[in-house]
């Protein structure tokens, strides 16, 4: 036990003098997260080891412990990174598509495409490697953006009259569920043969989001 290991690079208090030296000198934390993300993308969350990450960053096996409490904390940082990238892509879609119905559809499609493009990211974001996300505040914050964004899209669509009345939070959860479910099943290979080609994926996405939108429609 190191008592209170710094869990994130930004959390230790800077010197009170505010000098130039107060800026972080080492970029090791970011290098470790990047190396970990690359390793996971290449070999899956199973192939990941803290020592291998340290080797790839050209530091000793003990070095990561200065910046991350343990293996799980580094994985949580990777998961956080994944949620931030997902949020960025969804926000991008939001700005590109003004129509509330088309926007919901586009958000769903973007979510599934993100998952298929970065399957290992999705597995760290939602898998059991980080069992209790609330143990990692930054990760928790990043992950909640997803539901917040979907809820806003639902509320918007309600105002536009294309989604029925009801608790936007619950309808957003239904939206997240169907889109995340399709992404998870595809990534886990449960739809073997059904989602093999990009064409088949697009068909599935269309069917699923179509069913969703029809289920959300008024009356």
Contact 98, 157 (CB under 8 A): no
Q: Is 52 in the site for DNA (CB under 7 A)?
A: yes
Contact 182, 211 (CB under 8 A): no
Give me the least distance between CB of 12 and its own copies, in Å please.
27
Q: Is 182 in the site for its own copies (CB under 8 A)?
A: yes
Task: Pick the closest to residue 178 from 92, 127, 104 (CA basis).
Answer: 104
80-90: b or e for each residue (b if 16 or more CB lie within 10 Å)?
Answer: bbbbbbbbebb
Mark 113-132 with x for binding to its own copies (rule: CB under 8 A) and - for no binding: ----------x--xxxx-xx
Say how many residues touch its own copies, by CB under 8 A.
48
Distance between CA atoms of residues 112 and 201, nearest Å: 9
Mark 69-108 with x for binding to DNA (rule: CB under 7 A) and - for no binding: -xxx------------------------------------
Residue by residue, DSSP assigns 127-160 as STTSS-GGGSHHHHHHHHHHHHHHHHHHHHHHHT
**Which of residues 152, 161, 170, 197 is near its own copies by CB under 8 A?**
170
Binding site for DNA (CB under 7 A): 1-2, 6, 12, 24-26, 28, 48-52, 59-63, 65-67, 70-72
Binding site for its own copies (CB under 8 A): 44-46, 123, 126-129, 131-134, 143, 147, 166-167, 169-171, 173-174, 176-182, 184-185, 188-192, 194, 203-204, 207-208, 210-217
């Amino acid at each position: 036990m190191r008592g209170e290991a710094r869990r994130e690079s930004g959390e230790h208090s800077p010197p009170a003098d505010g000098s130039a030296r107060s800026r972080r000198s080492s970029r090791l934390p970011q290098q470790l997260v990047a190396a970990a993300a690359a390793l996971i993308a290449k070999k899956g969350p199973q192939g990941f080891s803290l020592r291998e990450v340290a080797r790839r960053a050209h530091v000793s096996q003990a070095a990561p412990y200065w910046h991350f409490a343990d293996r799980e904390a580094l994985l949580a940082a990777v998961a956080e990174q994944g949620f931030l990238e997902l949020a960025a892509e969804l926000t991008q879609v939001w700005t590109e598509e003004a129509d509330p119905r088309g926007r919901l559809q586009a958000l769903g499609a973007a979510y599934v495409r993100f998952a298929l493009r970065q399957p290992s990211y999705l597995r760290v974001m939602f898998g059991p490697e980080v069992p209790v996300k609330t143990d990692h505040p930054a990760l928790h914050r990043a992950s909640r953006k997803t539901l917040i964004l979907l809820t806003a899209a639902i509320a918007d669509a309600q105002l536009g009259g294309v989604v029925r009345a009801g608790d936007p939070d619950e309808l957003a959860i239904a939206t997240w569920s169907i889109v995340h479910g399709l992404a998870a099943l595809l990534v886990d290979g449960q739809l073997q043969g059904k989602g093999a080609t990009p064409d088949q994926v697009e068909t599935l996405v269309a069917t699923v989001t179509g069913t969703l939108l029809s289920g959300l429609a008024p009356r």
